[in-house]
Amino acid sequence: MRRSREVLRAVVARESRAFFGQPSAWVFLAAFLFVSALLGLRGFFERNVADLRDYSFGLRWALMLLAPAATMRLWAEERRAGTIELLLTLPLRPGEAVLGKYLASLAVVGAALLLGATFPLSLAPFADFDPGQVLSGYLGALLLAAAFLAVGGLASAVSPSQEVAFVAGALACGALNLLGDPYLLERMGVALGEDGRWLLDALGALALGTHHEALSRGVLETRGLVAFGGVTLAALFWTALAVERRGRASAERGLAAVLAGAAVLLAVSLANHRRLSLRFDLTRRGLHSLSADTLDLLARVRGELTVRAYLSRDGVPLSAEPLVRELLDFLDEVAAAGGERVRVERVDPRTPELQADAEREGVQRFDLEVRREDGAETRRVFAGLVLFYEGRPAETIPVALGRKNLEYDFALALRHLVLPRRRIGVAGAWNYPRATAALERVHFVERLDLARQKQVPPDIGLVLYAAPTPPSEREVYVLDQFVARGGALLLLAEGVSSRGASWRAVPHPRGPLHEALEAWGLELDAELVVQEPWRTWALRVDGRQVVARYPWFVGPTGAGNQDSPVAANLGRVVMPFASPVRGPEVLLRSPPAWTLAGEQDLRPERRLALSIGAARPRPLAAAARGELRSAWAHRPGPVLLPDAGGGEDPLAIPLERPLAPGAVVVVGDTDFPRDRWIAQGDGLAFLLNLVDWAEDRGSLARLRAREARVPLRGGGERILGFSRETAVWVLDVVLLPLFVLAFGLGRLGLRRRRMGLRATALRRRLARGRGA
């Protein structure tokens, strides 16, 4: 065993020296670095996304050339020179010889990948790369190289010359790379029909390019590992059979090769089964994993859910490629998570008939601008999703490309299909057009007038009430009894009046609303929260515009509310003139801030002494859930208002104890859902999260602020007088390949010079010996 290892090391050292001893080897290394960097930088800065998937794509195509180049001479040269029999007379088995040569070629390609690590390092000053994605991408490149080298070695073992071995190896690697192309598989499926479906699945499972693409995204799948390992081991085994010339008949070797191929297909097919395949998201923020909310909705699918993607492949500009990738990645995640219940169809609407189908199903054709040196060109493309389920009306995402949060839009559409819509009511001074439109995508929204209605309709489970001024006692009483009967109330209220052109804040007096809140365990303070301004605002004061840093606008963020079930993933919520809210469960806190009581001058020219006292986070939204007692439990309720039309009052006798658990959420601001402030931050997402939380119904709160794209940093830097694009291009595409080429050729030149000097010295010694 020890002697076999020594011989194996000797074979590895011999092959490594032989490879690096050729000028062509250094030319191939330089070409590998050139091709991978050139493809990796293709549109990198134009796309403005910090990922290395284009570089991984470049590595894949570069390895298709480097791997056959590194292996073409392994066996073809031995056979041409007649040294293969001599090699096999050494004290090692044919399999050990194959392994030794394979490890030598793997060391060569590993060195090339190590040199290629300068590419992400050169881009690191401009891009916050995900370390999990980078490491996963290099793992994928190493596994792909291992498989391609094994295939290249097999091509060398069965080829009569190096040239034939290179071409055969490159073609085989290209086939393994392209097998997983969805459009190629679609055309093959049409040609093979249902009877050939098993063959199509087997070929798709062997698609090394697809598995490498998953790793380049930061997704590790067991089926990919099995495919890489299966192809590598099978190719090495077949190479050993091809090299072996003794001890076995050709029929025996052929049977062994067939059995090995069948075993690989069986293993890959089993690993590709949805119930046996495991996947791990290695990215830092789990960008390629569906949220628990989406998975819960998919688990509710009982029949077959069809997700049809209309995606134009022609005419999509380079700048939109990251958006196309995000869409395709998301569809892959849905297909993997949905299992047999979900079928994903990809349709390229090239023909007028398919385009008409897309428009009939609600997918919109939209324009993409392509910038050229001679101007700009507009191209019209389709990129929408249509969901079909159980014969129900289809749900459509008209344009799925470039959406801030595609998963949320998909989950929302899926919720419409698998869960019935509920009725909710909006009341009080509710005048938020954009927020109401967003609510209507999820619920049936009914406008309530509690001054005229005797009670909240029994089919409404949630009421959203806006109270910039205190509501009447009867309106508060109707809400109180609604909560006591198990209803959910989302109350937007203010403890201080900040309306009008006087720019003065006046505390609201205590009234029925405060009594109801106290009965529920909540408290709305008659104060205003102020914080150190984080930006300037353009304000209209006495008919003139003033730009100032305004402390009365509070900006809580998700970063400061990581323990909140509704705000943890949000950006900034802009809340003008907010009041503190206290309760059993705090849902939103401000950044470090102060509170001011009493009348206040709100003019931007006023300078506040914010250093007085210690700043600390202030509660801006709080909630209470459970059996919430009524403020009118032991006293008569208010009579019907005249506007209610008289007649019998269904709430004439207040409930002494709650009939069912209810929920009350109070936010100390009524301005954040307004269109102006929604456009400044994540106020709409915060409102929708509160609605989900109050309903306690499959919340999509964690989805709304999720965004996968990380932009590049900076943009106008110059390095040694060059733009960053030019500097990186010169370094990675020109200087590094030239340096490697010069180093290798220079090393070979020095080696040959030393050998020449030694030979000259030896000849002189021999000449002197003969002369003596």
pLDDT band per the 50, 70, 90 thresholds, residue 252: low
Share of the chain above pLDDT 90, in %: 19
* Residue 124 in this model has a pLDDT that exceeds 50: yes
Q: Is the dihedral of CA 246, 247, 249, 254 positive or negative?
A: negative
Q: How many CB atoms lie within 10 A of CB 354?
A: 15
- What's the per-residue H, E or C state across 121-186? HHHCCCCCCCHHHHHHHHHHHHHHHHHHHHHHHHHHHHCCCHHHHHHHHHHHHHHHHHCCCHHHHH
The reported pLDDT for the residue numbered 772 is 56
* Residue 725 in this model has a pLDDT that exceeds 80: no
In whole angstroms, what is the distance from residue 402 CA to residue 405 CA?
8
* Residue 177 in this model has a pLDDT that exceeds 70: yes
pLDDT band per the 50, 70, 90 thresholds, residue 698: very low
- What's the per-residue H, E or C state across 241-262? HHHCCCCCCHHHHHHHHHHHHH
Share of the chain above pLDDT 70, in %: 82
pLDDT tens digits for 647-659?
Answer: 778 888 888 888 8
Q: Which residues pair with 596 in a beta bridge?
A: 528
The reported pLDDT for the residue numbered 246 is 46
* Residue 537 in this model has a pLDDT that exceeds 80: yes
What 8-state DSSP symbol labels residue 771? H
The reported pLDDT for the residue numbered 247 is 45
What 8-state DSSP symbol labels residue 76? H
The reported pLDDT for the residue numbered 197 is 60
* Residue 735 in this model has a pLDDT that exceeds 80: yes
* Residue 14 in this model has a pLDDT that exceeds 90: no
Q: What is the mean pLDDT of residues 283-312?
A: 84
In whole angstroms, what is the distance from residue 270 CA to residue 492 CA?
55
Residue 670, both tokens = 């009524």
The reported pLDDT for the residue numbered 199 is 65
The reported pLDDT for the residue numbered 582 is 94
In whole angstroms, what is the distance from residue 419 CA to residue 300 CA?
9
* Residue 593 in this model has a pLDDT that exceeds 60: yes
pLDDT band per the 50, 70, 90 thresholds, residue 271: low
Residue 345, both tokens = 């169809």
In whole angstroms, what is the distance from residue 576 CA to residue 550 CA?
10
* Residue 323 in this model has a pLDDT that exceeds 60: yes
* Residue 743 in this model has a pLDDT that exceeds 90: no
Give the CA angle between residues 741, 746, 747 to the nearest 5°: 105
In whole angstroms, what is the distance from residue 31 CA to residue 58 CA?
12
Q: Which has the closest alpha carbon to 383: 407, 414, 358, 413? A: 358
* Residue 147 in this model has a pLDDT that exceeds 80: yes
- Greater confidence, 608 or 616? 616
* Residue 42 in this model has a pLDDT that exceeds 70: yes
Helices (H), ranges, 179-221: 182-192, 197-205, 208-217
* Residue 283 in this model has a pLDDT that exceeds 50: yes
The reported pLDDT for the residue numbered 253 is 62
pLDDT tens digits for 79-93?
Answer: 776 666 666 666 667
Q: Report the CATH number of the 292-413 domain.
A: 3.40.30.10
End-to-end Cα separation, the chain, in angstroms: 51
- Greater confidence, 544 or 389? 389
Length of the chain: 772
- Of 20-34, 199-213, 638-652, give the range with the top mean pLDDT: 20-34
pLDDT band per the 50, 70, 90 thresholds, residue 612: low
The reported pLDDT for the residue numbered 755 is 80
The reported pLDDT for the residue numbered 551 is 87
- Greater confidence, 699 or 494? 494
Q: Which residues pair with 396 in a beta bridge?
A: 386
Helices (H), ranges, 244-393: 250-271, 292-299, 321-338, 352-360
In whole angstroms, what is the distance from residue 482 CA to residue 628 CA?
11
In whole angstroms, what is the distance from residue 448 CA to residue 445 CA?
10
Q: Are 143 and 58 in contact (CB under 8 A)?
A: no
Using CA atoms, how far residue 60 sits from 10, 206, 209, 210, 455, in Å, is 30, 15, 8, 11, 67
DSSP string, 430-455: ---HHHHHHHHTTSEEEE--TTT-SS
Rounded to the nearest 10°, the torsion over CA 409, 415, 420, 425 is: -40
The reported pLDDT for the residue numbered 369 is 64
In whole angstroms, what is the distance from residue 16 CA to residue 10 CA?
10
Residues with Cβ within 8 Å of residue 123, at least 6 apart in sequence: 44, 129, 728
Give the residue extent of every domain in the chain: 2-282, 292-413, 422-525+578-590+619-695
- Of 354-368, 684-698, 723-737, give the range with the top mean pLDDT: 354-368
* Residue 47 in this model has a pLDDT that exceeds 90: no
Average pLDDT over the chain, rounded to an integer: 81
Q: Are 537 and 521 in contact (CB under 8 A)?
A: no
pLDDT tens digits for 554-582?
Answer: 999 888 888 888 888 788 899 999 999 99
The reported pLDDT for the residue numbered 693 is 87
Q: Are 731 and 723 in contact (CB under 8 A)?
A: no
Q: What is the mean pLDDT of residues 9-28?
A: 77
* Residue 222 in this model has a pLDDT that exceeds 90: no
In whole angstroms, what is the distance from residue 623 CA to residue 694 CA?
9
Q: What is the mean pLDDT of residues 257-263?
A: 70
pLDDT tens digits for 472-525?
Answer: 999 999 999 999 999 999 999 999 987 656 788 889 999 999 999 999 999 999
The reported pLDDT for the residue numbered 624 is 93
Q: Are 677 and 576 in contact (CB under 8 A)?
A: yes
Burial class (CB in 10 A: 0-12, 13-18, 19+), 485: middle
Range in 117-126, 226-235, 275-284, 469-478 with the lowest mean pLDDT:
275-284
Give the CA angle between residues 569, 573, 577 to the nearest 5°: 150
* Residue 269 in this model has a pLDDT that exceeds 70: no
The reported pLDDT for the residue numbered 670 is 93
